[in-house]
Chain A
Amino acid sequence: MFDWFDSDVLLQQLLLGLSNGMIIALIALGYTMVYGIIELINFAHGDLFMLGSFLALTLVGAAMNCGLVDPALMGESSHWWLLGTLVVVCGIFCGGLNLCIDHFAYKPLRRASKLSQLVAAIGVSFIIVNLGLFWGGLPMEVLGGGGAAAAPKDFPHLVSDVNLLGEESFVVMTWNDVVIFVVTIPLMIGLTLFVKFTKLGMAMRATAQHATAARLMGVDVNKVIAATFAIGGFLGGAASVLYANYNSTVSFQMGFRAGMDAFTAAVLGGIGSLPGAMLGGLLIGLVRAMSDQYVGSEWTNVVVFSLLVLILIFRPTGLLGLKQREKV
């Protein structure tokens, strides 16, 4: 069993929690941005993330087939270029796909009731999950790949597994941890600056605060919404590569849990708030890690979703959300 006061165990779990938390935060941003602008909880977002990781796996397999990377060296040497390429390509893939989803599934329902949009989002989620199942059945030449369509698939470590804290250290930190921070922190800073200072970012904030007023200022609200889906999708795609690389496995069902974690994070931080999603993601990552270690991993989903219910009851505006929604 574990020792309550073992600081090494605690440190290890803190690191795990922070790393996974950064990934959750990146996904949560996609939820919170879309909610902020059209008040839609895009339930397909987690599944979009799943599809990104399938593309990453397929591309890693292709890179191996083409002899660009040596399967025997996975986890030994670092393939930074491959990881970087995957982040960008999967980001663009998910961003583009999210744009299409908005255009074909949500945009026609913009004037319909919120419930219709929500049902559409759930429908899109089902479609994507089944696309993932189909994709999982395609032959993919990756380490331990193949198998049944529904089976979880191994994803290789694209960067070195060597412990950066030294061979002797109990706490393990590898480049696979570091790369998460190297990718997510600039993305978050970039997003914050983008929203604060660029014209499109201003238009996004204006539309979120008062869509009609934004139209009366000359903002093409449909374009702003499309941009929001594209950016949120890009962040989800980038997160999918980091997630697959860090957790070494992808499955067609992983979008549900990751999506629920990220949605909980967005609600915890205050849905609609960008810093809230970042903070919420980190907290959910830490809660998961602590629960895995000190409560038992079989209870972790219960802990996280109980937290979701408690926030919705006692502090529906979240930690950094607005005290109350401005109306009229």
Chain B
Amino acid sequence: MSASNSLLLEIHELTAGYGSIEVLHGVSIQVHTGEIVSLIGGNGAGKSTSLSCISGIVPLRSGAVRFAGESLAGVAAHAIVKRGLVQVPEGRKIFPRMTVLENLRMGAYARTDRAAIESDLEEVYALFEILKGRSSQLGGTLSGGEQQMLAIGRALMSRPKLLMMDEPSMGIAPLLVAKIFEAVKSLRARGLTILLVEQNARAALKLADRGYVLETGRVVLSGTGAELLSDPRVQAAYLGE
């Protein structure tokens, strides 16, 4: 494996849950530097819980999460962000009573390099032009698609090494979904590593280098995006064919 293709995120036999309910029963996923990896599966399969657990929002019960060679067990959520592992949460979760600009600045909260923050701000505005014109508008007044762009832009402001996106297409007009997947593509072209959770399996697998299929808290299939797209089980269960 070449240096540019090194293991960035390694999740090994992860179990996690809420209260007495265990949601993940031993999930193992690997993400290499520069890859787009898609995690697909139905409702309640444990996709979002996996991301929450990696981000430190939901505590892991057993198994291991290693990022850039270091264990994340017991590391607080805010400290995980500092290491460059950042999530665009499900449902966007932008700050509704902060302006677009303030939301983006919150993304750079863990950083101290002021000059670079300003230039990154311009890059985010270049990626999502619509945000620039709305920089002084309150986040809560944006449309769903615009909020999704803001959420992605906000996460980019942290200069992530690995960006995790949780259902970026959920509840968004089709035209904007296309735009958001365009943006994901162009981010990968710039060398960003992406772990993408999606219900829209077709779009997610088309984009992905590799993918994992999650069912009731377990990985049941994995392979390259193309392999999974042509797999009859995936086609039957997730592609409606």
What is the interface of chain A, defined by CB distance below 8 A to chain B?
199, 202-203, 205-206, 209-210, 212-221, 322, 326, 328
Q: State which of A199, A206, A209, A216 has its C-beta within 8 Å of the C-beta of B87.
A: A216
> Which residues of B have CB within 8 Å of A217?
81, 106-107, 109-110, 154, 158
Given A206-B95, A206-B98, A206-B106, do A213 and B89 touch, yes or no (CB 8 Å)?
Answer: yes
Do A212 and B89 touch (CB < 8 A)? yes
Residue of B nearest to A223 (CB): B78
Given A220-B76, A326-B140, do A215 and B106 touch, yes or no (CB 8 Å)?
Answer: no
Q: State which of B81, B91, B94, B95 has its C-beta within 8 Å of the C-beta of A218.
A: B81
Do B102 and A202 touch (CB < 8 A)? yes
Bound together, the chains give a CA A212 to CA B154 distance in angstroms of 14
> Which residues of A have CB within 8 Å of B98?
202, 205-206, 209
The yes or no answer to B232 lying at the interface (CB within 8 A) is no
A156 to chain B, nearest CB (A): 45
Do A209 and B97 touch (CB < 8 A)? yes
> Which residues of B have CB within 8 Å of A322?
97
Bound together, the chains give a CA A287 to CA B91 distance in angstroms of 44
A235 to chain B, nearest CB (A): 22
Given A212-B57, A216-B55, do A202 and B106 touch, yes or no (CB 8 Å)?
Answer: yes
Interface string of B66-100 (1 = CB under 8 A from A): 00000000001110011000110101011111100
What is the interface of chain B, defined by CB distance below 8 A to chain A?
55-57, 76-78, 81-82, 86-87, 89, 91, 93-98, 102, 105-107, 109-110, 140, 154, 158
Do B78 and A221 touch (CB < 8 A)? yes
A112 to chain B, nearest CB (A): 13
Bound together, the chains give a CA A214 to CA B95 distance in angstroms of 9
Do A216 and B86 touch (CB < 8 A)? yes
Q: Is the interface of A mostly helix, strand, loop or mixed?
A: helix
Bound together, the chains give a CA A210 to CA B107 distance in angstroms of 13
How many interface contacts (CB-CB < 8 Å) are there between A and B?
67
> Which residues of B have CB within 8 Å of A199?
109
> Which residues of B have CB within 8 Å of A203?
106, 109
Do B95 and A213 touch (CB < 8 A)? yes
Q: Which 5 A-B pairs have the closest CB atoms?
A: A218-B110, A218-B81, A213-B93, A215-B77, A209-B95
Residue of A nearest to B110 (CB): A218
> Which residues of A have CB within 8 Å of B109?
199, 202-203, 206, 217-219
Bound together, the chains give a CA A328 to CA B171 distance in angstroms of 13
A17 to chain B, nearest CB (A): 31
B36 to chain A, nearest CB (A): 20
A-B contact pairs, 18 of them (CB 8 A): A202-B98, A202-B109, A209-B96, A212-B89, A212-B93, A214-B95, A216-B57, A216-B77, A216-B86, A217-B106, A217-B107, A217-B154, A217-B158, A218-B109, A219-B78, A220-B78, A326-B96, A326-B140
> Which residues of B have CB within 8 Å of A215?
56-57, 77-78
Bound together, the chains give a CA A216 to CA B89 distance in angstroms of 8
Bound together, the chains give a CA A168 to CA B112 distance in angstroms of 61
Bound together, the chains give a CA A206 to CA B99 distance in angstroms of 11
Bound together, the chains give a CA A215 to CA B58 distance in angstroms of 12
Given contacts A203-B109, A214-B95, A221-B78, 5 further A-B contacts (CB under 8 A): A199-B109, A202-B109, A206-B106, A212-B57, A216-B77
> Which residues of B have CB within 8 Å of A214?
95, 106
